[in-house]
């Protein structure tokens, strides 16, 4: 029975805690907890938010959106400078 309590506290709990901390940061906190235990939980807590990699299509759409916004800003700037 003592072994199960030990396993729960020092092996299973860090997995759950790491997952809870890592999920909002887009991190695999459960894996850190599984591999490193409580040290992994501390590492996940210190890590910043992960930004997912964009696909080529998503990157192209983002660039097009940026170009449209830049054109709108230039149009507003010219309208303001003419008045």
Nearest to 51 by CA among 31, 26, 32: 26
**Cα–Cα distance list, 48 to 19, 44, 45, 83 (Å):** 15, 8, 8, 46
- What six digits make up the tokens of 23? 């999920």
In the chain, the N- to C-terminal Cα span, in Å, equals: 82
- Give the tens place of pLDDT for each residue, 9-35: 888 889 999 999 999 998 999 999 999
CA distance 73 to 32: 45
pTM for this predicted structure? 0.57
Name the one residue in this structure whose structure tokens are 């010219």: 78
- Give the tens place of pLDDT for each residue, 41-76: 999 999 988 877 778 898 899 999 999 999 999 999
**Residue 41 pLDDT:** 94
CA distance 58 to 38: 37
């Amino acid at each position: 029975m003592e072994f199960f309590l030990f396993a729960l506290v020092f092996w299973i709990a860090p997995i759950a805690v790491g997952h809870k901390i890592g999920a909002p940061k887009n991190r695999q906190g459960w894996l850190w907890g599984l591999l490193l235990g409580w040290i992994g939980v501390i590492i996940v807590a210190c890590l910043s938010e992960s930004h997912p990699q964009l696909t080529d299509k998503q990157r192209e759409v983002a660039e097009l959106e940026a170009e449209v916004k830049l054109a709108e800003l230039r149009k507003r700037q010219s309208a303001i400078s003419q008045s």
